[in-house]
Homo-oligomer: A and B are copies of this chain.
Amino acid sequence: MTNEKKRKQLFTLLDEIEAYERCVGKMQFDMECCAPEEGLEQAGEDMAIIGKQIFKLTHAKKYVTLLCELYADGEGLTPVQKKAVEHLYDGYAREKNIPAKLAYEIDVAANRAYADWLRAKKAQDFSLYRDSLAALIGYAGKLVSLRDERKATVYDTLLDDYEKGGSIAQLDAFFASLKKRILPLVQRIVAEGKPIREDFMSRPVPIPRQEAFSRYLLELEGLRKSALVLMTTEHPFTDHYGPHDIRVTTHYYEENFISNIFSTLHEGGHALFMQNEPAELYENHAADNMTSAMHECISRFYENIIGRSEEFLRFVSPKLRELSGGVFDDVTDRELYEAVNVARPSLNRMNSDELTYCIHIMIRYELEKAFVNGGITVDGIPALWNAKYKEYLGVDVPNDEEGCLQDVHWTGMFGYFPSYALGNAYGAQILRTMQKDFDVFAAVAKGELNRVADWLTEHVFSIASLTTPDEWIRAITGEPLNVEYYLDYLEKKYTALYEICC
């Protein structure tokens, strides 16, 4: 059989596999955004049946043979097709030695872990979760041990899974740099920073008005209405089923209008990425292969670098004032800018500010590294968590709910957290390059966000699914990841904001 014939056969199988994947994706979306409470159990069972079908299709002999042969010899395939095959092969290689029985066991354990985590969090008691967590850590190690290829340690392997090329050595250096410049800055702000007015931040705005503003923001970001849906859910997320069907979700709180603005901008950033990968990638099953850090880079770019800039806030201010119906009439644009950028050591990652955010991530990184690789036992997690919050941020953790149980990620996604911090650093480095091409904040000040989206589409979205993170950031900026750009950005922004001299 010619390679072209093999490729066509493989792609026909993938058309079917991806149809089932979109179907499961929509059932998940339905569970989060539509289904009534009583319907969730049946929905979970139905999704498991579709999941079994996907497993069957991706483990069928014909599919595996075509994939392995094209991976071994991709002569005649286009570069995009080669990348698609490589990516699919990576996924296959990672899982090929896992016995079906073990995969099932892990599924069951993960489901139980999620339920235990919810229960433990509600009870503010880590001990109710420790057994499940210990089991998951054990399974993570077991899965890594089954790989044909793996890195120096289990945690190195997991880091590499989420961010190709990632390792403890790289991230130790990365977080050391962050720590070195962020912690003193936080301390100086606490000690010397000027007071910032915040009294208006929780003034209520009716939800239909908030929704209208969210729609305005998504359009401003450059999203096509005809391919976009905005719905509400408990924990906001963005998902898509190809570039023509993107779902942004949010959660309105009448007394937290301001926070919803940044949540919407964040999710809109994800949506822009989904909307603007080249059609050739979608057509060749090569799209959507970027890492989480690359995706978070864009969402946090829009949320923080653009969204929390004075230029952006000034531009949207008239619309914000109009839609909020006079609620902020006694607040100046500058006061608004300052208030949405308040930096303050706190207990909670999700509600934290741009400056301290990476410290929250660093704490999680240090803990993961220790408990995944055996530096500490599971039982040592709460104490170490609390000690690090005290050491880095000076805060006392009152209970496990507000402490080590606050995030869902440790119900299985060990190694994911660093993506958020890496995304921030990529974003600042990309901004610097973008600014060489045009005056970014002058454009933002005029509401010309299309210039930002166009630049990202050309330089960033176009290659993300075809490159490793290192290749990607080099291709965009001409150099490897350099966290100092991010630290420069933070230092400049926050010393000015708090009027601390440098």
Q: For residue A225, which residues in chain B have a CB less than 8 angstroms away from its CB? A: 36
A38 is an interface residue with CB less than 8 A from chain B: yes
Residues of B within 8 A of A231 (CB): 34
Residues of B within 8 A of A229 (CB): 34-36
A43: which B residues are within 8 A, CB to CB?
Answer: 241, 245
What total of chain A residues lie within 8 Å of the partner, measured CB to CB? 38
Asked if A103 CB lies within 8 Å of chain B CBs, one says no
**Contacts A26-B27, A227-B39 hold; do A19 and B45 have CB atoms under 8 A apart?**
yes
Would you give the 0/1 interface string for A92-115, flagging 1 where the beta carbon is closer than 8 Å to chain B?
Answer: 000000000000000000000000
B38 close to A20 (CB less than 8 A): no
How many copies of the chain does the oligomer comprise? 2
**Shortest beta-carbon distance, A478 to chain B, in Å?**
36
- Whether the pair A245, B35 counts as a contact (CB closer than 8 A) is yes
- B208, A39: Cβ atoms under 8 Å? no
Complex partner residue of A19 from B19, B20, B29, B49, CB under 8 angstroms = B49
Contact between chains at B241 and A42 (CB < 8 Å): yes
Decide: A33 and B34 in contact? CB cutoff 8 A. Answer: yes
- Min CB distance A347 to B, Å, is 33
Question: Which residues of chain B come closer than 8 Å to A75, judged between CB atoms?
Answer: none
A231 to B39 CA separation, bound complex (whole angstroms): 16
- Tell me if A342 is interfacial: C-beta within 8 Å of chain B: no
Chain B residue contacts of A33, Cβ below 8 A: 34
- Smallest distance from the beta carbon of A268 to chain B beta carbons, Å? 14
Q: How does the 8 Å CB contact mask read for A350-381 relative to B, with 1 for contact and 0 for none?
A: 00000000000000000000000000000000
A244 to B36, Cβ gap below 8 A?
yes
- Distance, CA A443 to CA B351, complexed state (A): 52
Complex interface residues of chain A between 20 and 49 (CB less than 8 A to chain B): 20, 22-23, 26-27, 29-30, 33-39, 41-43, 45-46, 49
Q: Does A451 contact B (CB under 8 A)?
A: no
Q: How far is the CA of A242 from the CA of B44 in the complex (A)?
A: 13
CB of A245 to closest CB in B, whole Å: 3
Q: Which A247-291 residues have a C-beta within 8 angstroms of B? A: 247
What residues of B have a CB within 8 angstroms of the CB of A30 in the complex? 26, 29-30
Question: Given contacts A23-B46, A26-B27, A49-B16, is CB(A38)–CB(B208) below 8 Å?
Answer: no
Could you tell me if B241 and A38 are in contact, using CB atoms closer than 8 angstroms?
no
Contact of A242 among B19, B39, B53, B241 (CB under 8 A): B39
Q: Is A228 an interface residue (CB 8 A)?
A: yes
Asked if A50 is at the interface of the complex by the 8 Å CB criterion, the answer is yes
Report A182-233 residues with CB < 8 Å from chain B CB: 208, 224-229, 231
Report A14 CB to chain B, min CB distance, Å.
12
**Chain B residues near A242 (CB-CB < 8 A):** 39, 42
Q: How far is the CB of A252 from chain B (nearest CB, A)?
A: 13
**What's the Cα separation between A86 and B53 when bound, in Å?**
29
The digit string for A42-62, where 1 denotes a CB below 8 A from any CB of B, is 110110011001000000000
Q: Which positions in A face B, CB cutoff 8 Å?
A: 16, 19-20, 22-23, 26-27, 29-30, 33-39, 41-43, 45-46, 49-50, 53, 208, 224-229, 231, 241-242, 244-247
- A sample of 14 inter-chain contacts (CB < 8 A) reads A16-B49, A19-B49, A19-B50, A23-B23, A26-B26, A26-B30, A33-B34, A36-B229, A36-B244, A39-B227, A39-B241, A39-B244, A41-B244, A42-B245
Q: A22-B46, A26-B27 are in contact. List 12 more A-B contacts (CB 8 A).
A: A16-B49, A19-B46, A20-B50, A23-B23, A26-B26, A29-B34, A35-B229, A36-B246, A38-B226, A39-B227, A39-B242, A53-B53
